[in-house]
């Protein structure tokens, strides 16, 4: 979890807590070290977030502090509910779990009748549910896209031929049957599409491409009207 997301989650944990929450409890929830939590608490306090407490006794958020409210129309709320339902059809387990958390957070925060849009189950996303790919973690792909970190792939093309690729991932496309990774292939020296269900092994490389992601996405989008190029 990136620091910005972690700081937000710490505020959410403290905002919903009815008693002091220790650094160890937050560390377990967010799957980080206790030391990271202490650093994050100090950073939030430096930003004048009114967190009180200390190590060993726990932390509380002083009453009166809250994040700016988000207000949606009925149509906007239904759009969010349907989008979250569509995520359940992807093979990305982390995104599906995140969709449940988002649903719960919004349901708890918005007033009636907006809350009914999330609880009524009146809107459904129907169709094929994409299986989770066996050889790749889509959450890892999303993180490397955000961090502009290269990926090493063991891949089989449509003819079953095995190949090793180093790519600069720039986008992830979710289809009903699988997901496609879009990236600059260093072997082909061009943008290529890699089906997630053909990846046999994937790991993040100890190499980055800082500042290149947007440029490569612009190059990719400029050729969007042409058929996607296979690996």
What are the pLDDT digits (tens) for 121-156?
A: 566 666 677 788 899 999 999 999 999 999 999 999
Smallest Cα–Cα separation from 194: which of 163, 218, 221, 215?
A: 163
pLDDT at residue number 15: 84
Return the pLDDT at 63: 78
Under a CB-based contact definition with an 8 Å cutoff, are residues 41 and 3 in contact?
Answer: no
What's the pLDDT tens digit per position in 19-46? 999 999 999 999 899 999 999 999 889 8
pLDDT of residue 195: 94
What is d(CA 87, CA 157) in angstroms, rounded to the nearest whole number?
A: 27
Pairing of strands 58-61, 179-185: unpaired
What pLDDT does 47 receive? 84
Is a pLDDT exceeding 90 seen at residue 6?
Answer: no
Is residue 168 within 8 Å of 212, Cβ to Cβ?
yes
**Full-model pTM:** 0.61
Q: How far apart are CA 27 and CA 84, in angstroms?
A: 27
Gyration radius of the chain's alpha carbons:
21
């Amino acid at each position: 979890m990136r620091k910005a997301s972690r700081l937000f989650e710490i505020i959410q944990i403290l905002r919903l807590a009815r008693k002091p929450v220790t650094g160890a409890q937050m560390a377990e929830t967010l799957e980080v070290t206790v030391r990271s939590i202490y650093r994050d608490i100090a950073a939030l306090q430096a930003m004048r977030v009114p967190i009180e407490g200390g190590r060993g006794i726990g932390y509380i958020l002083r009453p009166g502090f809250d994040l700016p409210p988000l207000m949606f129309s009925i149509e906007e709320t239904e759009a969010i509910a349907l989008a979250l339902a569509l995520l359940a059809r992807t093979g990305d387990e982390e995104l599906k779990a995140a969709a449940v958390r988002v649903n719960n957070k919004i349901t708890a925060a918005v007033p009636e009748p907006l809350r009914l849009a999330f609880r009524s189950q009146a809107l459904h996303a129907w169709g094929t549910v994409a299986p989770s790919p066996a050889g790749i973690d889509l959450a890892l792909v999303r993180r490397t896209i955000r961090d502009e970190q290269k990926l090493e792939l063991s891949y089989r093309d449509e003819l079953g031929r095995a190949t090793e690729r180093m790519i600069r991932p720039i986008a992830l496309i979710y289809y009903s049957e699988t997901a496609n990774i879009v990236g600059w292939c260093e072997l082909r020296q061009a943008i290529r599409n890699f089906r997630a269900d053909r990846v046999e092994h994937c790991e993040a490389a100890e190499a980055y491409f800082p500042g290149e992601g947007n440029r490569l996405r612009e190059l990719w989008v400029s050729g969007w009207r042409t058929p996607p190029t296979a690996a």
